[in-house]
Structure 1
Amino acid sequence: MSKILNSGYYLTKILFIIVIWTTTSLSILSAQNTATKLNAYFSAKARQGDFNGVILVAEKNKILYQKAFGFADFGNKQLNTMQTRFPIGSITKLLTATAALQLVDKGLLTLDKPVKFYLNEFPYPDITITHLLSHTSGLPSWDSVFKNAIQDHPNSIFSNNDILTEYSKQNIALVFKPGSMHEYNNANSAFVALLIEKVSGLSYETYMKQHILVPAKMNNTFIPKSPFFNYTATERKNVAKLYISHMYTPIKENTDTIRSNKNYWKKFNFKGFGEIITTPEDLFKFNNTLIAGKILTPSTLKIAQTAIQLNNGVSLPRGLGWQVEMDHILGKIAGHGGGLTGLSTSFIYQTDTQRLVVVFDNTQQNAEDLSVDALMILAGQSLTPPGNDIARIYGHILLEKGATYARNELYRLKQDTTHYYSSEQQFNKLGYDFLRSGKISQALETFRINTELFPQSYNTFDSYGEALFKDNQKEKALIMYQKSLELNPDNENGKRIIQELKK
């Protein structure tokens, strides 16, 4: 090789290295910039009391951002960490659906076959596995089906086997014809768990561990013996406690003190619908394993993440175990949310970009909204870190110093748009918070001030009317609903209530 050719070879090699180094450096800088934006936004949310939990943001196989905020145990000042485990609520349904679809891949289940083909006692011959997975079965709720059993056996604990027996015994009419409508119902997933047991020959817990948790290396995930609020001492280790967060006070209400919750979930010890406990990283591992085709074939996953159609051809934002939606900015997003008293969780996957956001909040803030916010930031949307929420400040002052003082402070703070923000939705949320807590006068004043702040919103008058109606102030309630209808003639709920109030 000549010296000229040899020098050209080395020059080309050097240029190639420079290009690779530059591309990698830009990629690292971009990731760091994204993480900085995410951290600024979610740190602000946490400071304002709108986030207490953990978040993980990933793209393809790489975690871009993960951080824990607030307390897992407020009483003992134990911080949340990325290793803190959380109940995930109805995200469990997504994992249960994945297990059932594995059995479809293996030929042990067929989506369009009647459930009765596999479970002889099942009393509804027209319901298929597709109907169960998409919540279009029309099944009555287990509360209505078990009403007589609870009266006859008040101290009994009911399991998945009991659910089949009781539905067969009561044979209550379906709420609607299978496939004609959609109604979210936990019973659907409990029956899917039964199908998994029936055709696999394993208990639901054993099957999930062997075929979902172990293959995905979800080492920090487990299924408790009893769902929600009834964990054993061993199960409670490193699991976040759940709290009701009120907007009008920083004091959190520990859900462990709510005896009715404990009793309800001890009695209905069903599996498959919401009981799994895990970490964001384990769900990240689950998603990676899933999209790699290691626990489900790509073709079956595609079907699961495709919006289904009702009998009349209308498309629903649901797949098979997945919530599926189209956003004008984000495109197709698929996932699932979960929630119960003191808990809100979200698992959202943006299919085109392979971006994943997992959010758990143990003070019941809206995890799904937070997940979408994260995806918007990744998509380059400018989301300004929130300032101080005037609704929270107003609620505290209203409770402590009364309506007049609170209103004056509200309008004073409202002028400082740099440090404070007012939101119709936040004031509405505060009103309902007061209402649920039995603080009726404060609720009514909050809803009233919301109509004053946002006089062109039909919903402010609708909510104020609802609160007045609940306080038996029917004449004032009628006026509010009529105003709501003036602003939005399509408010069907308002029309219905007006008819009721005029009787």
Structure 2
Amino acid sequence: MKFLKFIPLIVLITLASCKKEKHTLAHHEVKKEIKDTILRIKPLDITLNRVPKAFVDSKYKSIDNFYNHIWPKHNLSGGFLVAKNGQVLYETYGGIANRSTKEEINSHTALHLASVSKVLTAAVVLKLIDFKKLELDQKVNSILPEFPYDDITIKMLLNHRSGLPNYAYFCDNAEIWDRSMLKNQDILDLMAKHKFDLYFKPDKKFGYCNTNYAMLALVIEKVTHMNYRDAMKKIIFEPLGMNDTYVFDYEKHKDTASLSYKGNNVLYKFDFLDDIYGDKNIYSTPRDLLKFDMATYSGDFLNPNLVKKVFKGYSYEHKGVKNYGLGIRLREWKTGEKLFYHNGWWHGNTSSYVTLKKDTVTIIALSNKFSYKPYKVSKLAPLFGTYPMKDADEDLFD
């Protein structure tokens, strides 16, 4: 296992920005216009103070104690990183990416983010809204005409209030799908054909569902005239310097991607759901996710009014501290404290991305060997602020 005690990191990142065209475009010009405007690069204004060495030293020991408690004898199979103001306080990697080749996991090993992918999918959707190419309350079937549910909006997909059925369930029915490799478009086509019942009336309540983000990936494709994989690369990954991040393509990456394992080290084999993207299938590293997190502190990342809509809860049907914003989970306490995060779980991959906005702290844990341990890293929050984490249990599902 490679262990890095202290690595100062100054994140210099840029993000795609867009300028409005002054003339009205003909239909045949739309494809070129969208690609051109989305890809204009502009430096982000991020002014975060350098963390004093005394602060680093004071937090290092506590984080190290936590790490050795959660992953005793260094049994982490993945990566773990804690940063303040974009500066790494603690970082460590360990385990095997591929047990057949004995490839070890290091800081450049891209691991499956599982549902943490939703955070990045949402970021591109929100950028398109910021670009005026899409509207938050726009009906989904105004973009995807085949989509058979009239009352569902982009916002309902983002905050999981659509009521859509889970594609993993209806596609597991042999009369519906033959278990050949499923594509996002297949999910839409099946819903258009069968018009499956919604789980509940749109916007009635929260219902976490991967279908929402599989549909958002198709929305991204329709609006940008690019494949989702290319759109994510051009709009987020390349501008932010996320050079080790990519969207999995089964035919292209099945022999080279890091693999995932059960707790007893048995390989999780790919199945017919492993080519769906938007809800999962982004592979990345803790360092690349840190670059993304730092981008969110820039006023140029998103319009401030839109940012406010992202980091707020939309589901208060049940009492409690947990809620969901636009592509991000949150805990909000009566004290006024808020913690933002997203967890993930797919096959043997488990992941956690925690961002403490008030304290500019980033906590990331990725594992390719099944374990609930990455979900526990949010317990580090009280080390940086007044977060009453003892009053909140960990989320054991993504």
TM-score range normalised by the length of the shorter chain? 0.7 to 0.9
Q: For residues 65-214 of structure 1, what are the structure 2 equivalents within 5 Å?
A: 65-73=90-98, 78-146=103-171, 150-151=174-175, 154=178, 156-214=180-238
Does the 8 A contact of 2:350 with 2:368 survive in 1? yes
Cα 1:347/1:315, change in 2 over 3 Å: closer
Cα 1:316/1:42, change in 2 over 3 Å: closer
Matched, 1:255 2:267: yes
Question: TM-score normalized by structure 1?
Answer: 0.62
Q: Give the drift of 1:255.
A: 2.2
With 186-195 and 68-77 compared, the bigger mean Cα shift is at: 68-77
Q: Identity, % of aligned pairs?
A: 26
**Matched residue, 1:362:** 368
CA distance in 1, matches of 2:55, 2:386: 11
Does the 8 A contact of 1:226 with 1:265 survive in 2? no
Larger radius of gyration: 1
Q: Give the drift of 1:367.
A: 4.3
Q: Give the drift of 1:290.
A: 2.3
**Matched residue, 1:375:** 381
CA distance in 2, matches of 1:38, 1:152: 49
CA distance in 2, matches of 1:180, 1:155: 32
CA distance in 2, matches of 1:123, 1:371: 40
CA distance in 2, matches of 1:276, 1:25: 31
Q: For residues 74-473 of structure 1, what are the structure 2 equivalents within 5 Å?
A: 78-146=103-171, 150-151=174-175, 154=178, 156-226=180-250, 231-233=253-255, 235-236=256-257, 239=258, 241-245=259-263, 252-256=264-268, 258=269, 262-266=270-274, 269-309=275-315, 317-327=323-333, 331-379=337-385
Q: Give the drift of 1:63.
A: 1.5
**Matched residue, 1:386:** none
CA deviation vs aligned residue, 1:154-184 (integer Å, no higher than 9, x gap): 3643312222211111011111001112111
Q: Give the drift of 1:327.
A: 4.7
CA distance in 1, matches of 2:96, 2:180: 35
Amino acid at match of 2:271: N
CA distance in 1, matches of 2:51, 2:84: 16
CA distance in 2, matches of 1:330, 1:362: 35
Does the 8 A contact of 1:104 with 1:110 survive in 2? yes
2:230 counterpart SS class: helix
Question: If each structure's strand is expressed as a fraction of its own residues, which one has the higher value?
Answer: 2
**Matched residue, 2:87:** 62
Does the 8 A contact of 1:345 with 1:367 survive in 2? no
**Matched residue, 1:32:** 57
Does the 8 A contact of 2:119 with 2:342 survive in 1? yes
Does the 8 A contact of 1:132 with 1:188 survive in 2? yes
With 218-227 and 269-278 compared, the bigger mean Cα shift is at: 218-227
Amino acid at match of 1:154: D
**Matched residue, 1:443:** none
Cα 1:25/1:165, change in 2 over 3 Å: closer
Q: Give the drift of 1:52.
A: 3.3
CA distance in 2, matches of 1:38, 1:315: 25
**Matched residue, 1:490:** none
**Matched residue, 1:3:** none
CA distance in 2, matches of 1:75, 1:232: 14
CA distance in 2, matches of 1:75, 1:43: 28
Q: Give the drift of 1:123.
A: 0.7
Q: Give the drift of 1:211.
A: 0.5
Cα 1:26/1:55, change in 2 over 3 Å: closer
Does the 8 A contact of 1:243 with 1:255 survive in 2? yes
CA distance in 1, matches of 2:51, 2:147: 59
Where does the alignment leave 5 or more consecutive residues of structure 1 unmatched?
1-23, 246-251, 384-424, 430-503
Q: Give the drift of 1:330.
A: 9.5
CA deviation vs aligned residue, 1:205-243 (integer Å, no higher than 9, x gap): 11111101111110011112129xx9433x32xx3x322
CA deviation vs aligned residue, 1:308-331 (integer Å, no higher than 9, x gap): 146899996000111011257892
1:90 counterpart SS class: helix
CA distance in 2, matches of 1:95, 1:378: 25
Amino acid at match of 1:89: A
1:253 counterpart SS class: coil
Amino acid at match of 1:169: K
Where does the alignment leave 5 or more consecutive residues of structure 2 unmatched?
1-48
CA distance in 1, matches of 2:282, 2:169: 25
Q: Give the drift of 1:62.
A: 1.5
With 346-355 and 371-380 compared, the bigger mean Cα shift is at: 371-380
1:174 counterpart SS class: coil
